[in-house]
Amino acid sequence: MHRVIAPKILYFGTPVVLISTMNEDGSMNLAPISSVWWLDQTGVVGLGTRSQTFANMQRSKECVLSLPSVDQVAAVDRLALTTGSNPVPNYKLAMNFRHVRDKFDEAGLTALPSELVRPPRVMECPIQLEARVASIHLVGNPDDHSASVELRIVRVHADESLIDTQNRHHISPDRWRPLIMSFLGFYGLGEQIHTSRLAEVF
Ligand SMILES: Cc1cc2nc3c(=O)[nH]c(=O)nc-3n(C[C@H](O)[C@H](O)[C@H](O)COP(=O)(O)O)c2cc1C
């Protein structure tokens, strides 16, 4: 038996990503998001257009996506309700957001230089993706202030412990424990539950 409902959000469960970008003055910004999906070497992120991250990506056309595992959940949560924007936009003030200039310090995370782009990687995150902005599209209604940002992944860094022992360019899904946000709660993944016929042909 199903019932028609009108949920305010449709956050059915996606990985958390920390996006680092460069501010106009050369300092760095870091923000958690969880609206993200992948296709081939492309990543698409959903962003509020009034965030510092969006302004930085629009201007500099580059970023790093650092993927936290479940082990970094406390650091991610320390970044909630913070913004690199100064002054803090009114709609965020109303939600108790505060400006934080150094979000790496706030989270207790370490900035690691990237190889192909200016924004730094997050050292503690087991997967780090250097990326360039390919396109930006506004989504929804104008007063949603939302955009999808298409990113070309130009370099992938993976923690040694996640790399498949047979194929050194593969990440082992049995070892990779992504941090998942589902309806505003933090979760991990369980064990593999079924063999995959798609995996046989790829
Ligand atoms: C776990 C988590 C997931 C989030 N997911 C998103 C998201 O997918 N898109 C988005 O625009 N904001 C998301 N936010 C809110 C942003 O982090 C927030 O707007 C932040 O102020 C952006 O920082 P900035 O203004 O320095 O760019 C999320 C926050 C948290 C804590």
Contacts of 76-82 spanning 24+ positions with Cβ under 8 A: 76/16, 76/18, 76/32, 76/107, 76/179, 76/186, 77/186, 78/106, 78/107, 78/108, 79/18, 79/30, 79/31, 79/32, 79/103, 79/106, 79/107, 80/32, 82/106
Pocket test for ligand 1, best of 16, 34, 183 (most atoms within 8 A of CB): 34
Residues lining ligand 1, judged by CB closer than 6 Å?
16, 29, 31-35, 46-48, 51-53, 76, 80, 83-85, 97, 181
CB atoms within 10 A of CB 167: 9
pLDDT of 202 strictly over 90: no
H or E element that contains 129: strand 127-139
CA atoms of 57 and 177, how far apart (whole Å): 28
> How much is the average pLDDT of 57-62?
98
pTM of the model: 0.97
Among residues 37, 36, 103, the alpha carbon closest in space to that of 76 is found at: 103
Asked: is 14-201 a CATH 2.30.110.10 domain? The reply is yes
pLDDT at 122: 99
Domain extent listing, the chain:
14-201
pLDDT tens profile 149-186: 999 999 999 999 999 999 999 999 999 999 999 999 99
pLDDT digit string, tens, across residues 81-100: 999 999 999 999 999 999 99
